[in-house]
Chains A and B, each alone.
Chain A
Amino acid sequence: MPDLAYWLELHATRLRQGFRGEAAYPLPPLAFSPSERELFQLAERLTEALRPVEPRPVWVASLYERLMGEARQPRGFPAPSPLLSRWWLGMILGTAALGVWAYRRLHATRH
């Protein structure tokens, strides 16, 4: 006689095929003990409770667009945003101005 795990598996297959109640049992229900029958009933409740949920198609589409946008970006260094470029430009000009100021100050002290 196969073990209970085997019968539960057959039962799950029959539930997937659309059978319910006694029709889903792999053997007549009386062939199983009351506690075993509880497991079959629980499996049937799971079939009713765990139904596929459809994600919102609009959300699926918007995520698709977002992923495509990300995927089309060149890999490696991320593309600099205009804001970031301006920040770097400011940084370079600021450093240069500071350098000129420091040079002149040093030059003036010597003379």
Chain B
Amino acid sequence: MRCSQTPETVFLFMSARHSPAGSHEDERRLVERARRDPEAFGELYLRYVRSIYNYIFYRTGDPEEAEDLTSRVFLQALQHLPRFQERGLPFAAWLFRIAHNLVANWHRDRQRHPIFPLSENGHDRSSERVEAALERQEERERLLKAIRRLPPDRQQLLILKFVEGLSNAEIARIMGRTEGAIRVLYHRTLEALRKELTRER
């Protein structure tokens, strides 16, 4: 995969984002090649950038922070790739772990130095917007805020399940658990989220 011009990279991203991740063995070979070949790392980047961006976006709720933190995830991955050891976990699991640590640090820093938004929320209250749409948007915001109050592993499960549309087997591999454990975690997460929403009311 060779791409040095921006439009070409955009095209590769657009075509790579819906392609299947490939087999575990195929990925292992690609990771091995990425240690020496920048283009192979680029291929891994195009394969996972959307997933990592979505994960961080839903954990932070901020597109700019999502871009910044996603950049850091891949820069760290590139820097530490020589030390990455294949232990049966997919490459994505490693990326998600880096993302998880960066998001945790980000939340910790924000608690130390809270940022107060200028407006009450991020809605575009233009006159064309009908009230029903606003209500739906507010409802969604409330739900997303409640999700962000859940423990990180439960947030990760919801993002992988609903945003990424992964099966329990795939989620289990990424999170390093069994399929049965993921099924139980999903049930408990829904229960916890319901309690969180009820408590809010």
Contact = CB atoms under 8 A, between A and B. Distances in A.
5 contacts: A42-B194, A52-B163, A55-B66, A56-B67, A57-B14
Interface of B: 3-4, 6-7, 9-10, 13-14, 38-39, 41-42, 45-46, 49-50, 53-54, 57-58, 63, 66-67, 70-71, 74-75, 78, 82, 139-140, 143-144, 147, 158-159, 161-165, 168, 183-184, 186-187, 190-191, 193-194, 197
A60 B78 contact: no
A3 to B, nearest CB: 8
Given A59-B67, A61-B6, A67 B162 contact: no
Contact of B6 (A5, A39, A48, A65): A65
A39 B197 CA distance: 12
Contacts of B139: 45
Given A39-B187, A42-B193, A71-B42, 9 more contacts: A5-B187, A9-B183, A46-B193, A49-B144, A57-B10, A58-B10, A60-B46, A70-B75, A71-B41
B38 A68 contact: yes
B42 A54 contact: no
Given A53-B53, A61-B6, A72-B38, A8 B78 contact: no
B42 A67 contact: yes
Q: How large is the interface on A (under 10, 10 to 19, 20 to 34, 35 or more residues)?
A: 35 or more
A53 B55 CA distance: 10
B41 A67 contact: yes
